[in-house]
């Protein structure tokens, strides 16, 4: 199984276009030890020419340009994107679908609740119906697996997560199973196992099991502290209020990853305010000491 990080940032990317928090300001001033990040998405392949996108961010055009394998030019119009799998209906994970409107129907994999949000409160699917269209495949949350043509023999299984529904969802503030999922991807040829969960509000026993069994756990890296937005002066809500488990402190992501100890630990979906973006920061050194990696655009992983 091959994994490519298309975008490692949270909504808005880094630096965020309108933000002058400490990170963004120092980056623009050339006083920051770190790199830009587009909005969160990854591509997964079984080793062949076809790839599945896990989420489709607003930055997908730039991400395709940076990864020539996604545009192999085998014909007059071509793509290596065999399907798009969504973990939720959030804007930063779905808006890129509109960029794919010129092609054949988008082969879309998501839960029933996510599809509902994408045809009502945020009707991306309806809009695409006026262009190339959407070929929807429901992702079950009952533990059954699915495959994507062109990515055989990889199997994918949805793991319901505790997080938050989008602001335009009628379930905002009372998310239900299926609003947010993690994905277990298994390669029977190598035995490799990926657990991908860019949004995690809390860690239950099921998620702990997935983390412990993963060869690579690629999980929510949004915020270092629960009160990070208020401390940065850019928001009033805590990380936990918007469905993200902070990395630091008791019960935080670093502690959980240390306890479950997946073979490889990678943080993705990193908010522009997070000090771990600064490669010279004390927080970054703490992650390195704990064996936790910080995802970056273009990062490649094979398991």
| pLDDT tens-digit map of 128-152 | 999 999 999 999 999 999 999 999 9
| Average pLDDT score over residue span 283-300 | 98
Percent of the chain's residues with pLDDT above 70? 100
Report the pLDDT value the prediction gives residue 295, as an integer from 0 to 100: 98
Going by pLDDT thresholds of 50, 70 and 90, the confidence category of residue 167 is: very high
Does the pTM exceed 0.85? Answer: yes
Burial class (CB in 10 A: 0-12, 13-18, 19+), 102: exposed
Rounded to an integer, what distance in angstroms lies between the CA atom of residue 267 and that of residue 286? 13
The domain spanning residue 179 has which CATH number?
A: 3.60.15.10
For residue 177, the enclosing domain spans: 2-302
Rounded to an integer, what distance in angstroms lies between the CA atom of residue 112 and that of residue 42? 22
Name residues whose C-beta falls within 8 Å of residue 152's C-beta, 6 or more positions apart in sequence: 46
Q: How many domains does the chain have?
A: 1
Going by pLDDT thresholds of 50, 70 and 90, the confidence category of residue 112 is: very high
| Average pLDDT score over residue span 239-267 | 96
Token readout for 72 is 């192999």
Residue in 222, 164, 199, 240 with CA at minimum distance from that of residue 54: 199
| Average pLDDT score over residue span 91-112 | 96
For 1-29, the pLDDT digits (tens) are 999 999 999 999 999 999 999 999 999 99
């Amino acid at each position: 199984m091959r994994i490519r990080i298309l975008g490692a940032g949270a909504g808005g990317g880094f630096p965020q276009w309108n933000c002058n928090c400490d990170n963004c300001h120092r980056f623009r001033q050339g006083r920051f030890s770190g790199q830009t990040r587009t909005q969160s998405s990854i591509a997964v392949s079984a080793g062949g020419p076809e790839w599945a996108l896990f989420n489709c961010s607003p930055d997908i055009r730039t991400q395709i340009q940076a990864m020539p394998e996604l545009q192999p030019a085998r014909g007059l119009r071509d793509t290596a994107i065999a399907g798009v799998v969504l973990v939720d209906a959030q804007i930063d994970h779905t808006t890129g679908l509109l960029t794919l409107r010129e092609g054949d129907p988008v082969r879309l994999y998501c839960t029933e609740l996510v599809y509902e949000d994408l045809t009502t409160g945020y009707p991306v699917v309806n809009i695409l119906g006026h262009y190339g269209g959407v070929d929807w495949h429901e992702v079950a949350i009952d533990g059954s697996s699915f495959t994507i043509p062109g990515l055989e023999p990889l199997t994918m299984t949805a793991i319901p997560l505790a997080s938050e529904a989008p602001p335009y969802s009628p379930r905002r503030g009372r998310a239900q199973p299926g609003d947010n999922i993690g994905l277990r991807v298994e390669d029977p040829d190598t035995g490799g196992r990926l657990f991908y969960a860019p949004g995690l509000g809390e860690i239950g026993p099921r998620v702990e099991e997935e983390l412990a069994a993963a060869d690579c756990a690629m999980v929510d890296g949004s915020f270092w502290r629960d009160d990070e937005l208020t401390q940065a002066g850019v928001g009033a809500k805590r990380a936990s209020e918007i469905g993200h488990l902070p990395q630091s402190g008791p019960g935080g992501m670093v502690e959980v990853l240390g306890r479950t100890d997946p073979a490889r630990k990678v943080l993705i979906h990193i908010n522009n305010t997070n000090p771990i973006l600064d490669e010279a920061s004390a927080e970054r050194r703490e992650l390195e000491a704990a064996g936790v990696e910080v995802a970056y655009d273009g990062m490649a992983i094979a398991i």
